Amino acid sequence: MKRKRGDCSSSGTANNKSMEIVWQSPANPPERHDYIFHDGRRHVRPYYFEFISHVKNRWAGKTIVDLFAQEFKGRPYDYYVDAVKSGRIQVNGEIVPVSYIVKSSQKISHFLHRHEPPVMAWDISILHKETDVVTICKPASVPVHPCGQYRKNTVVGILQAEHGLAPLFPVHRLDRLVSGLLILARNAAKADLFRQQIEGGMVQKRYIAKVIGVFPEEEQVVNANVDYNAREGRSSTEEENCPGDRLSKGKSACTKFTRISTNGTYSIVLCEPITGRTHQIRVHLRYTGHPIANDTLYLDDIVVTRSTEEVSTNEADKVNIDHSVKDDSDESSSFDFSIDPMCTNCPNLAPKGYGGHEEGLWLHCVRYSGPGWVYECPYPDWAIL
């Protein structure tokens, strides 16, 4: 629920007046007016939010300011001093001095002005709406559910704000830069049924990808372990049966690939993952020597130049369904939002560190099928060579 709190900035801040602020928590649903559309991007109007965490054992014994400065390095030390003095950082719901020593398991609240990264401004197309299932075509760049810096700028958040669909339970996930079919259950029981079928190997998945080069005409099956490095945010491959006594890294993974078409420069490939590892299709295509043509994470420098030029001349993220783009004529395109005197991101809409313009991967989920059910999504424009 939303809560009103009187907030005052520190003595070192120019604006020293008390502010009556509406603080939000994860319980507050996104609403249609939360979004600002500008320059082909969907922004979230900055809002006040309460982040809650509990003191870990390795944090115990530190001062409250040192804890934040060392563990959350996105803001300067002086910000955390001011935030503690003004009550924007609290321990167990109480204002504490900057010298306060935290103890294990204590509740820490950080009240801040939250700026979410923008996503592409495509509408989310609803493909099927049933009593207990909704399927949609997910645009590239939009995460499925709240994670990291994203909360309202997610598939779940946008569907709730613009279509009143809640609660929703994603049955499977697509990486943020991947587009295509996404299945969402409308109750927990249906979601559990889908997950049981997926975990039981009863669900078949199909994706299409646009890759570099002429992909072989005959079916290709890749059996290569996928080892995901969370620190680097990328995966590597290794054949299952490695010579010698060296232990294999990663998890076993298998993907079947079939060429759909080629124009001599690129190929459209049907990808059927038998397992579900992080970046499996992307890294297995690279393993074949035919990486996704605009996948900068798994391309060498020479290929990156050519593929990114292709992205700029082809609107790679369009799909042949109702993915209309909201433009600046929308009444919510106004830039008026509250400028917070303590915020380290204001007056910009996007948070600091946001990399700017990004495109979606040429990887698109087209079909999921299981016992007695099939859901499909149209092909994207880039699939036509």
The CATH number given to whatever domain includes residue 96 is: 3.10.290.10
The pair of structure tokens assigned to 287 is 């393993």
* Domain boundary residue, one of 78, 94, 114: 114
Same domain, 238 and 162: yes
Is 124 within a domain?
A: yes
Range of the domain at 83: 3-30+47-114
CA distance 231 to 214: 33
Same domain, 373 and 232: yes
**CA proximity to 278, closest of 357, 175, 365:** 175
Is 91 within a domain?
A: yes
- How does pLDDT run along the chain (385 residues), one tens digit per residue? 444 444 444 333 334 445 567 888 788 899 999 999 988 999 999 999 999 999 999 999 999 999 999 999 889 999 999 999 999 999 999 999 999 999 999 999 999 999 999 999 999 999 999 999 999 999 999 999 998 889 999 999 999 999 999 999 999 989 999 999 999 999 999 999 999 999 999 999 999 999 999 999 999 999 999 999 988 888 998 865 555 545 567 899 999 999 999 999 999 999 999 999 999 999 999 999 999 999 999 986 444 444 433 433 343 344 445 555 565 444 444 467 888 999 999 999 999 878 766 779 999 999 999 999 999 999 999 999 8
Same domain, 223 and 370: yes
The pair of structure tokens assigned to 334 is 């106004």
Same domain, 100 and 187: no
From residue 258, alpha-carbon distances to 65, 298, 384 in Å are 56, 20, 16
Burial class (CB within 10 angstroms; exposed 0-12, middle 13-18, buried 19+) of 374: exposed
* Domain boundary residue, one of 91, 114, 137: 114
pTM: 0.83
Is 7 within a domain?
A: yes
Is 142 within a domain?
A: yes
- Cα of first residue to Cα of last residue in the chain, in angstroms, is 50
Same domain, 191 and 288: yes
Same domain, 88 and 157: no
The total number of structural domains in the chain stands at: 2
Same domain, 224 and 248: yes
The CATH number given to whatever domain includes residue 216 is: 3.30.2350.10
Is 273 within a domain?
A: yes
Same domain, 197 and 287: yes
* Domain boundary residue, one of 114, 133, 157: 114
Please list the alpha-helical segments (H only) found in 63-200. Answer: 64-71, 77-85, 155-163, 188-199
Please give the backbone phi and psi of residue 101, each rounded to the nearest 5 degrees, phi first.
-95, 125
Same domain, 102 and 126: no
Please give the positions annotated as active site: 175
Beta-strand ranges (E) seen in 67-148 are: 89-91, 107-114, 119-120, 125-129, 133-138
Contact 112, 123 (CB under 8 A): no
Please give the backbone phi and psi of residue 57, each rounded to the nearest 5 degrees, phi first.
-60, -40
Contact 183, 195 (CB under 8 A): no
